[in-house]
Amino acid sequence: MRQTVEKFGYVEYGASILEPTELYKAKTGEEIINEQTYSFKDRGDRDVTLRPEMTPTVARMIAHKKRELSFPLRWYSIPNLFRYEKPQKGRLREHWQLNVDLFGIENLNAEIEIITIASEIMEAFGAKDTDFEIRINSRKNLQQIIESKIKKTEFYTKAIKLLDKKDKMSEEDFTKLWSEISDESPDFEQNQPQNIKELIEKLNKQDINNVIYDPILARGFDYYTDIVFEIYDTNKENPRALFGGGRYNDLLDIFGAEKVPAIGFGMGDVTIGDFLKTRNLIPEYKPTATLYIAHAEGTDFETINNIAKKIRDIGVNTIVDITDKKVSDQIKRASKENVLYSLTIGEKEIQSGIFSLKNMQTGEMKELQEKELFNELRSI
């Protein structure tokens, strides 16, 4: 995730996990804070919350420093987030989430860049474009349609939340709940809004072809202002959005800054982890150490540590076995550590200056003089 977003020049930022509870009230405009947060009073009698999402935090940060910053800004972070809800498939009380945001661009190039990044992260994980699809909608357009259908203006938020959950409920349940807020049919199929059409065309030209228009796509958060998107697994047995985002041009206003156009997405580790597991795409564990140095009985550790230092200094991560175990047990341990090479050092090696480097995968041994040893290690 890091590699892909940095390819696009995004810069990492950080923030405290502890936020004033007010931050989330301000955002939603509601007086009651979401029941699902970890909120408490600190010893200074302040209402504080463990952040449940990152967008309000980054919006606040940028609003407060707006005059010192120069736009556009490309920022990313991989924070941990807390929600107090029943742990279930795809939702844990604590999870980590990549957040990628672009501030200061009003035009559609921003949507293209952000969706391209989302798509390239999927590809970097090894997903093929038949494994996932990118659903796009205009929240603005959806709003107009909803407003033309609902019985009362106050039902708007209810309607958005219902549409957001449509995929997770039965057709029957949906129809029943919909009839409570609208007398009209829940039919949203319309002509594609102009910006959606243009966006899809341009993404296609950049070889991103798994994009579709989804007229009921809503996304839960209140702050989206126009284009929203979600990445879906094409496996129909997993009908949940993997992750998503959208444009939120008005969020910085709340913090007293002038308008700053903004767009971004969040990608949680649990949902994407589940997706990668079912597709067998979880990256392989890469051991930290490359070389393991074992020692013959009674060998002077100062000499071994000094050799190890020289090897580490040429960039080879090295474990020195400092136990009192037999050489054979030390080598067993080396293989448990998954190192690529091992080296056994005793008085004989120190006196002769000839070392035997063992390739732990093939079992091959190479007899090398100190200089050759270093050349060999440098070439790893």
The reply on whether position 6 binds its own copies by CB under 8 A is: yes
CA distance 67 to 45: 32
For residue 272, the minimal CB distance to its own copies (Å) is: 17
110 or 160: CB nearest its own copies: 110
Q: Which of residues 340-359 bind its own copies (CB under 8 A)?
A: none
72 or 90: CB nearest its own copies: 72
CB 13 within 8 A of CB 98: no
The reply on whether position 109 binds its own copies by CB under 8 A is: yes
The reply on whether position 116 binds its own copies by CB under 8 A is: yes
Residues 6+ apart with CB under 8 A from 127: 275, 276, 279, 281
Going by the DSSP 8-state scheme, the letter that residue 236 receives in this structure is: T
Task: For 334-360, give the secondary structure using H, E and C.
Answer: HHHCCCCEEEEECHHHHHHCEEEEEEC
The reply on whether position 74 binds its own copies by CB under 8 A is: yes
The reply on whether position 305 binds its own copies by CB under 8 A is: yes
The reply on whether position 124 binds its own copies by CB under 8 A is: no
φ, ψ for residue 7 (rounded to 5)?
-55, -30
CA distance 25 to 41: 16
The reply on whether position 319 binds its own copies by CB under 8 A is: yes
CA distance 183 to 187: 12
Going by the DSSP 8-state scheme, the letter that residue 150 receives in this structure is: B
From the number of C-beta atoms within 10 Å of its C-beta (0-12, 13-18, 19+), residue 372 rates as middle
The reply on whether position 329 binds its own copies by CB under 8 A is: no
Which residue matches tokens 């050489």? Answer: 327
Q: Which of residues 265-294 bind its own copies (CB under 8 A)?
A: 287-289, 292
For residue 57, the minimal CB distance to its own copies (Å) is: 14
What are the b/e assignments for 329-362, b being 16+ CB within 10 Å?
Answer: ebbebbeebebbbbbbbbeebeeeeebebbebee
Q: Which of residues 204-243 bind its own copies (CB under 8 A)?
A: 205-206
Of 31, 43, 191, 371, the one binding its own copies (CB under 8 A) is: 43
For residue 211, the minimal CB distance to its own copies (Å) is: 15
For residue 174, the minimal CB distance to its own copies (Å) is: 29
The reply on whether position 378 binds its own copies by CB under 8 A is: no
The reply on whether position 10 binds its own copies by CB under 8 A is: yes
Of 212, 322, 365, 380, the one binding its own copies (CB under 8 A) is: 322
Residues forming contacts to its own copies in the complex (CB under 8 A) are: 6-12, 16-18, 35, 38, 40-44, 50, 70, 72, 74, 80, 82, 84, 94, 105, 107, 109-110, 112-113, 116, 202, 205-206, 287-289, 292, 301-302, 305-306, 309, 312, 317-320, 322-324, 333, 336-337
